[in-house]
Structure 1
Amino acid sequence: MIAAVCLGFFGATLALLGMKCTKIGGSDTTKSRLTVLSGFHFLLSGICCMTACSIYARRITTDFFDPLFVKQKFELGAALFIGWAGSVLCILGGLVFCLSASESFSLKGKYRYTGAPSFGTTHRQHNRTANSLQTEPREPRRPLQRNAYV
Structure 2
Amino acid sequence: MRKRLIQISGFLISSLGWLFVLCTMAMDYWRITKIGGQGGSFIIKVAWYWSNLWSDCYTDSAAVTNCRDYPVLWNVAYYVQAVRGLLMCGLTIGFFAVVCCFVGMECTYIGGSDKTKDKVLFAGAVLHFVGGMSDIAAYCLYINRIARTAFARRVASGVLRYELGPPVFLGLAGCFFILVGAVLYAVTVYKVIRRGSRVVQAGDAHTYMAPPSRGRTIYSGYYKPSKLNGSNYMGSGRSSAQLSKLSQATPTKPSDRDAFV
Report the Cα offset of residue 105 of structure 1.
3.2
- RMSD (CA atoms): 1.8
Report the Cα offset of residue 106 of structure 1.
4.8
Question: 1:2-53, CA deviations, whole angstroms, 9 ceiling, x for partnerless residues?
Answer: 1111111111111111112323211111100011001001111111111110
Q: Which runs of 5+ in 1 are unaligned?
A: 109-150
Q: Please say if residues 119 and 193 of structure 2, whose CA atoms lie closer than 8 Å, have aligned partners that are also in contact.
A: no
| Aligned partner of 1:96 among 184, 195, 205 | 184
Matches of 2:143 and 2:116, distance apart in 1: 41
Matches of 1:64 and 1:72, distance apart in 2: 8
Structure 1 length-normalised TM: 0.65
Q: Which runs of 5+ in 2 are unaligned?
A: 1-86, 197-261
Q: Which amino acid aligns with 1:68?
A: V
Matches of 2:188 and 2:106, distance apart in 1: 13
Matches of 2:160 and 2:147, distance apart in 1: 13
Q: What does 1:7-46 align with in structure 2 at a 5 Å threshold?
A: 7-46=93-132
Q: What does 1:68-147 align with in structure 2 at a 5 Å threshold?
A: 68-69=155-156, 70-106=158-194
* Percent identity (aligned): 26
Question: 1:81-126, CA deviations, whole angstroms, 9 ceiling, x for partnerless residues?
Answer: 1111111111121122112111233568xxxxxxxxxxxxxxxxxx
Matches of 1:107 and 1:64, distance apart in 2: 52
- Name 2:148's counterpart in structure 1: 62
Matches of 1:4 and 1:55, distance apart in 2: 14
- Name 1:130's counterpart in structure 2: none
Which shifted more, 26-35 or 97-106? 97-106
Q: Please say if residues 102 and 108 of structure 2, whose CA atoms lie closer than 8 Å, have aligned partners that are also in contact.
A: yes
Report the Cα offset of residue 59 of structure 1.
0.3
Report the Cα offset of residue 65 of structure 1.
3.0
Question: 1:114-143, CA deviations, whole angstroms, 9 ceiling, x for partnerless residues?
Answer: xxxxxxxxxxxxxxxxxxxxxxxxxxxxxx
- Per the alignment, in what secondary structure is the counterpart of residue 163 of structure 2? coil
Q: Which amino acid aligns with 2:138?
A: A
Matches of 1:58 and 1:28, distance apart in 2: 45
Matches of 2:95 and 2:160, distance apart in 1: 35
Structure of greater Rg: 2
Q: Which amino acid aligns with 2:116?
A: T
Structure 2 length-normalised TM: 0.39
Structure with the largest fraction of strand = 2
Which shifted more, 61-70 or 42-51? 61-70
